[in-house]
Amino acid sequence: MKFFVDSAETEEIQAAKRLGLADGVTTNPTIILKSGRGFETVIREIAALIDGPVAAEPVCSSADEIIREGRLIASWAENVSVKIPLTRDGLEAVRVLSGEGISTTMTLIFSPAQALLAAKAGASFICPFVGRLDDVSHSGMDLIAEIVALFSNYPGIDTEVIVASVRGPAHVIESAMAGADGVTVPYTVLEQLMRHPLTDAGIEKFLSDWNKIAP
């Protein structure tokens, strides 16, 4: 399963890369804002750091604008994937951009119907949001299972399901169990995935016993 780091912080992306956990990077306007740096600067820098896709989201609403911005963003680096919200104009834009060979990521997906339309438009990746569905008392993971099952009925679909709005290790493991192609993970979740209280306790005990061994 692919791990896309959900961050625009260079240090976090480098740390994930050293662990072999940066198959790609996803950003959105909120993540770029948090970085305190400019959109183009950040995307160019991240794209040079990793080999995999870097999802970059222009903020515009008409299909024509999305297409224009998408072409521009895609020209910044070969591994940029233009991230576009699932709207009617977004679908039109993805159809054009993917027809030109530009990688696209459809985001803010909350239903199997939206996932199917994104695949039909030729999106390279889709990002269904599990955490935000859980927040409103719907099961985010049920959505992932439905999309994976739906796509598996049509071997011609090569759109990858990259689970987004991941809030903790359970979302990662359940995405893997459901057969998702990947997850977008905040760096804090990567750290949580590595840790287990019994591992910490075991290390502490070994260390204390080691110090008691006679030289």
Catalytic site positions:
83
Please tell me the distance from the alpha carbon of residue 137 to that of residue 168, in angstroms, as a whole number.
17
- By CB under 6 A, tell whether 114 contacts ligand G3P: no
Options 2, 37, 44, 132; binder of ligand G3P; rule CB under 6 A: 132
Query: Residue type for 65, please?
Result: E
For the record, the structure tokens of 106 come out as 């459809």
Stretch that binds ligand G3P, among 88-96, 115-123, 129-137, 193-201 (CB under 6 A): 129-137
- By CB under 6 A, tell whether 165 contacts ligand G3P: yes
Are 127 and 114 within 8 A, CB to CB? no
Options 17, 35, 85, 131; binder of ligand G3P; rule CB under 6 A: 131
Please tell me the distance from the alpha carbon of residue 186 to that of residue 167, in angstroms, as a whole number.
8
Q: How many residues interact with ligand G3P (rule CB under 6 A)?
A: 10
Stretch that binds ligand G3P, among 34-42, 44-52, 128-136, 201-209 (CB under 6 A): 128-136
Stretch that binds ligand G3P, among 59-67, 68-76, 98-106, 127-135 (CB under 6 A): 127-135
Options 5, 12, 26, 73; binder of ligand G3P; rule CB under 6 A: 26
Of 66, 174, 31, 181, which Cα lies nearest the Cα of 115? Answer: 181
Please tell me the distance from the alpha carbon of residue 114 to that of residue 178, in angstroms, as a whole number.
19
Q: Which residue lies nearer to ligand G3P by CB, 127 or 178?
A: 127
Q: Least CB distance from residue 132 to ligand G3P, whole Å?
A: 5
Options 13, 24, 25, 28; binder of ligand G3P; rule CB under 6 A: 28
Q: What is the largest CA-CA distance in the chain?
A: 75
Kindly calculate the radius of gyration of the chain based on its CA atoms and give it in whole angstroms. Answer: 19
Helix, strand or coil for residue 22?
A: coil
- By CB under 6 A, tell whether 184 contacts ligand G3P: yes
Q: Least CB distance from residue 77 to ligand G3P, whole Å?
A: 20
Please tell me the distance from the alpha carbon of residue 129 to that of residue 21, in angstroms, as a whole number.
20
Report the run of H or E that residue 82 belongs to, with start and end: strand 80-85
Stretch that binds ligand G3P, among 38-46, 66-74, 85-93, 125-133 (CB under 6 A): 125-133
- By CB under 6 A, tell whether 105 contacts ligand G3P: no
User: What is the phi/psi pair of residue 108, to 5°?
Assistant: 60, 50
